Chain A
Amino acid sequence: MSETYEFTIGELRREYRASLAKAGLGMLAVGVCLAHSGLFDAQRLMEAGPALADLLGEMMPPDFSNWADWGMPLLDTLAMSVAGTFLAVCLSIPLGFLAAANASPHPVVHRLARGVLNFLRSVPELIMGIVFVAAVGFGALPGVLALGLHSVGMVGKFFAESVEHCDKRAVEAIRATGATPMQVMLHGMLPQVLPQMADIAVYRWEYNFRASTVMGMVGAGGIGFQLMGSLRLMQYQEVAALLLVMLVMVTLVDALGSWLRGKFV
Chain B
Amino acid sequence: MLTIQGLTKSYQAHTALHPTDLTFEASRFSVLLGPSGAGKSTLLRCLNQLTVPTGGTVEVEGVGPIDTASKRHALRCMTGFVFQQHQLILRQTALANVLNGRLGCTPLWKSLLPWSRNDVTEALGCLERVGLLDFALIRAGRLSGGQQQRVGIARALAQKPRIILADEPVASLDPAKSEEILDLLLEICREDGICTVVSLHQVDLARKFADRIIALKDGRVVFDAPPSELSESALEEIYSSGGDVSSQPEEETGEDELAVLEAKAA
Contacts and interface: CB of A to CB of B under 8 A. Distances in A.
A111 interface: no
A177 to B, nearest CB: 5
A167 interface: yes
Contacts of B91: 191-192, 195
A179 B76 CA distance: 8
B108 A183 contact: yes
Contacts of A183: 103, 106, 108, 111
A167 B96 CA distance: 16
Given A167-B89, A169-B87, A176 B81 contact: yes
B111 A187 contact: yes
A172 interface: yes
Interface string B86-109: 011111100010001111111010
B178 interface: no
A172 B159 contact: no
B48 A176 contact: yes
Contact of A179 (B48, B81, B96, B104): B104
B101 A182 contact: no
B108 A177 contact: no
A234 interface: no
A177 B76 contact: yes
Interface string A178-209: 11101100111001100100000000000000
Contact of B100 (A172, A174, A182): A174
B23 to A, nearest CB: 22
Nearest to B96: A191
A176 B76 contact: yes
B255 interface: yes
B159 A177 contact: yes
B108 A182 contact: yes
Given A169-B255, A173-B155, A191 B89 contact: yes
Nearest to B76: A178
A175 interface: yes
Contacts of A170: 87-90
Contacts of B108: 180, 182-183
Contacts of A186: 111-112
B100 A177 contact: yes
B18 interface: no
Contacts of A179: 100, 103-104
A183 B50 CA distance: 16
A169 B86 CA distance: 9
B215 interface: no
Given A174-B103, A177-B155, A178-B159, A191 B77 contact: no
A198 to B, nearest CB: 13
A224 B74 CA distance: 60
Contact of B88 (A173, A180, A187, A195): A173
B172 interface: no
A173 B103 contact: no
A175 B50 contact: yes
B90 to A, nearest CB: 7
Given A186-B111, A187-B111, A177 B88 contact: no
Contacts of B85: 169
A104 to B, nearest CB: 16
B114 to A, nearest CB: 13
B223 interface: no
Interface string B57-99: 0000000000000000111111111010101111110001000
Q: Which of B74, B78, B104, B105 has the most CB of A within 10 A?
A: B104
Given A167-B89, A173-B88, A195-B91, A178 B111 contact: no
A179 B80 CA distance: 12
Nearest to A174: B100
A97 to B, nearest CB: 15
A188 B85 CA distance: 16
Nearest to B106: A183
- Chain A CB count within 10 A is highest, among B90, B103, B108, for B103
Contacts of B78: 178
A187 B87 contact: no
A178 B63 CA distance: 14
A187 B240 CA distance: 44
B73 A178 contact: yes
B104 A177 contact: yes
A187 B155 CA distance: 14
Contacts of A174: 100, 103
Given A176-B79, A178-B76, 10 more contacts: A170-B87, A172-B50, A173-B100, A173-B152, A176-B48, A177-B76, A177-B81, A178-B73, A178-B74, A191-B92
Interface of A: 167, 169-170, 172-180, 182-183, 186-188, 191-192, 195
- Smallest CB-CB A-B distances: 6 pairs: A178-B104, A178-B76, A178-B77, A173-B87, A179-B103, A176-B81
30 contacts: A167-B89, A167-B90, A169-B87, A172-B87, A173-B81, A173-B87, A173-B88, A175-B76, A176-B48, A176-B76, A176-B79, A176-B81, A177-B76, A177-B81, A177-B101, A177-B102, A178-B73, A178-B75, A178-B76, A178-B78, A179-B100, A179-B104, A182-B108, A183-B103, A183-B111, A186-B112, A187-B103, A187-B111, A192-B89, A192-B91
